[in-house]
A and B are shown apart, each in its own frame.
Chain A
Amino acid sequence: MNSYRRHDAPRARRHLTIATILVVLLACIDMFSHGYIRYLTRTVVSQAWSATDSAVLHVLHMEVFTSRKALIQENELLRTQLARMQEQAIAYTALEDENHALREIARVASSEQGITAPVTSSFYASPYGTFLIGAGSADGIARGDMVLAGETGFLIGRVVHTDAHRAVVVELFAPGAKFDAVINGISVELEGRGGGNAHANVPRDSVIASGDLVRVRQYGDRVAGVVGGVEVGPASAYQDVYVALPISRSSISFVYVVSQ
């Protein structure tokens, strides 16, 4: 099948070459301008996502989708209720653990100050496991701040870049991210797999079970996940521990940002 006219091929190739050079130039300009082009792009993406998100919701509520819509709504409601109950069960366990630790060492917990910020992008858009929040350096947010979500403040990420009124947050379980955690008193190295999931290899004789809480020492022993499953091969010296975020990412509309 010949779809190209012969005289178009050199012109198309020239366009592609020019585009490649321009892309590399733009990337260099952005690097030397300390991310000014990135700042503009993120502003557009945030605003476009906010606008199109409400438009998509409006379309889905149209009459033509009614019968299917009702089922989808019911499923969503049941899923939300289930997720909420699971979160409450995990939150209760976390609170119980925290209460026990406080009683043992008799220390006084201090309330911590933080900033509530809206999530202004999709959690699924970024290949790097990042998302945008609608607060930045002008609001008191700094690089390295912890980002919490859920009723009891599960650690879901940290701030990696701030603009004046926007910040980029990388999920704790971003693809390729490695960090130390503690599960049931056992130190493990978790590797993020994206999508709110992480994995660790632990020695076979470690006592870890589904439902165990995952705490991150470097972030003040905060709960970052829960063990979803443990697999061990018959001849393996290690067991695979799969960790998941205890809350559904799609249900997160606001986050709480605290200094580390």
Chain B
Amino acid sequence: MLFRNSNTIKFVLGVIALFGIMYAWWLTLVASIILSVRYRAWEVPVFGLLLDFAWYAPDLSFHWPICTAISILIVWVFEPLRNRLFTRS
């Protein structure tokens, strides 16, 4: 039951993140942070990559695709927190 609820939560957050890629990037960021805090979400780096694929171009004031970098950072930075809060001691 709890496993099914977790899948539902991940699915809803994933849909919100995908919606954010098309409409509002901050939705993707918020959903990614929530997913990363709660789960080892492999989807988060994919969302960051999709954001860059959709909106990044080389000739910008941002010289690197920072969304991909930030999404990878977010999901790995929360690893110690996930280990402490969500695994058996």
Measuring CB to CB, which residues of chain A are less than 8 angstroms from any residue of chain B? Answer: 1-4, 6, 9, 12-13, 15-16, 18-20, 23-24, 26-27, 30, 37-38, 41-42, 45, 48-49, 52, 121-122, 124-128, 130, 143, 160-161, 168, 170, 174-178, 192
Residues of the B chain whose Cβ atoms lie less than 8 Å from the Cβ of A48 = 22
CA distance A112 to B56 in the complex (A): 30
Which range holds the interface residue count of chain B? Answer: 35 or more
Please report whether the interface of chain B is mostly helix, strand, loop or mixed according to DSSP. Answer: helix
**Known pairs A20-B42, A20-B72, A160-B59. 13 more at Cβ < 8 A?**
A13-B40, A15-B42, A20-B75, A24-B72, A125-B55, A126-B54, A127-B66, A128-B62, A130-B57, A143-B59, A160-B57, A170-B59, A192-B61
* In the complex with contacts A1-B85, A176-B62, A23-B40 CB distance below 8 A: no
* In the complex with contacts A19-B42, A23-B72, A124-B24 CB distance below 8 A: yes
Q: Which of B57, B67, B76 is close to A161, meaning CB atoms less than 8 Å apart? A: B57
Residue of A nearest to B56 (CB): A128
Q: Which of A3, A41, A52, A177 is close to B61, meaning CB atoms less than 8 Å apart? A: A177
